[in-house]
Structures are given as structure tokens and as C-alpha cells.
Amino acid sequence: MGINTLHLLPVRTGTAAENMALDFFLLQRYPGRTAPRFRHYEWRNPAFTFGFSQKIEFVRTNLPAGEGFDLCRRPTGGGIVDHRNDWTYTLVLPRGHPLYDERATRSYHAVHECLAEALRVFGQPADVKLADEPVERIDPSPLIMGVCFHRAELYDVVNAVTGAKIAGAAQKRNKHGLLFQGSIEKASVGPVDWEDFSARFTASLGRALGNESQETPWPELSEDEVSGLTEQYSSPEWVACR
């Protein structure tokens, strides 16, 4: 397995804090740090995450009332994301990868083209929103800035017929690499074999990134580090830090 292989890690199920901690761990502590790495994951409990710079007061006023769910601040930007019916994934590109040095819009576009291509295999009218191809939004509900799936931004994946946002993402870039956290709203698409979709999406990603795709076992993790990071992401100080 060469250093340019896209590592496809096994699916894990976790709380919101565990999932955010593992994503950040894959950016900061992945052995060798030379290979791109990808994971799709599940949620142990109903969950919402929100962008690193968002104010907790705004977030709380835009969450459903009377429901129990996990709530966690992401290490990446973006808006509030409802994970109760989504397909969530993370891609990490190491420092030195060509997309690491590109503008954020370049990586959004590249990843979302692969995602839309995989959805179209299942007959879904998925397309990437381009600046010169505005999509009319026909959803009558009011737009709320800062809530991820209420508004499609440049290079998000949209339903080409209805204008509904299908997929969005947020990024964090530091000296270790680029962390890309993405979500697909399942209610915005029709029937999809998600296991087949995952295989097609990651194969397309591998080609776009100039890498082979290879299923890869999880590396040996420092349980103390992971536990400490999970505690940080679950702490009231982290959730309410802005």
C-alpha cells in the first residue's frame, strides 16, 4: 500500500463528541500523516453539530424544542447540521497534497463533484451549484442563515430539479493537513443503496485525488489521547466557548 493510497477506514458509531474527537485525531495524530484518509460514520444518539465560530445562543434558538440529542461544536466552520437522518463522512488530506495549498472552494468543488457523480448513478438529479448556474429554490420555508441545509452555497450539492440542498461540508486547515467534514441530507434524495454509494463515492474520490482507494484498518490509537479529546469535545466549555 503506497503512501499515496486513499485510506478507507472502517465505519464507527459514536456520540457527537466521540465523532468530532476522532475526526480531529485523524488530522492531528494519524500515523505517518502522508496518506489521505476517509471515513463514514454513524451516530449513537440523535445529534446536531455546529460550526466552530458560531455563537451558542444562536445555535440553541435554532434547535428543535423538547427533544433529547447530542450537541457538539465542530473543529471546522459552517452552520448547524442535523445528523438525525444524514450520511456523514470525513476526508483528511495531508499537508503537501495539491488540494492542501488550493483555495477552500477548490476542494469543495472537487469532493462534491465526486459525490454528485455517485448519486447520479442511482438516478438522483444531483448537481454541484456553480456561480454561473444559479438554482431556483422552491422550498417555501424561510431561509435561516447559519443553519446548514436551509441554503445552498457555492459548490454545495443540490437537487437540480427542486433546488433543495443535498450535501454540504466544512473545512479546517492547519499545519498537519486539511480536515473536510461532509453531510448528505437523506430526505433530499430518493432511494439510494448507501453501501453501494459509499463504494462509488470513495472510488471517485480516489481518482480525483490521484490516489488508489484501499480499505485500511484503524491505526493503533492512544486511548488516553482519544479519551482526553472526547472529554474536551463533550465539555460545556467547548460547546459554549463562543
Contacts of 61 (CB under 8 A, 6+ apart): none
Dihedral pair phi/psi, residue 170, rounded to 5°:
-140, 155
Query: What is the tally of structural domains in the chain?
Result: 1
Portion of the chain with pLDDT greater than 90, in percent: 70
Q: Name the average pLDDT for the chain.
A: 88
Residue 103 confidence (pLDDT) above 90 = no
pLDDT of residue 34: 84
Dihedral pair phi/psi, residue 203, rounded to 5°:
-65, -40
Contacts of 155 (CB under 8 A, 6+ apart): 105, 108, 109, 112, 128, 129, 130
Residue 152 confidence (pLDDT) above 90 = no
- Minimum mean pLDDT among 95-104, 125-134, 182-191: which range? 125-134
Residue 198 in any domain: the answer is yes
CATH number, domain containing residue 45: 3.30.930.10
- Over residues 10-56, the pLDDT tens digits come to 999 999 999 999 999 999 988 877 899 999 999 999 999 999 999 99
Residue 168 in any domain: the answer is yes
What is the domain range of residue 158?
6-239
Nine-digit cell string for 241 = 466557548
Residue 133 in any domain: the answer is yes
Q: For residue 30, list its beta bridge partners.
A: none
pTM here?
0.90
The residues assigned a catalytic role are 148
Residue 1 in any domain: the answer is no
Residue 210 confidence (pLDDT) above 90 = no
pLDDT of residue 116: 97
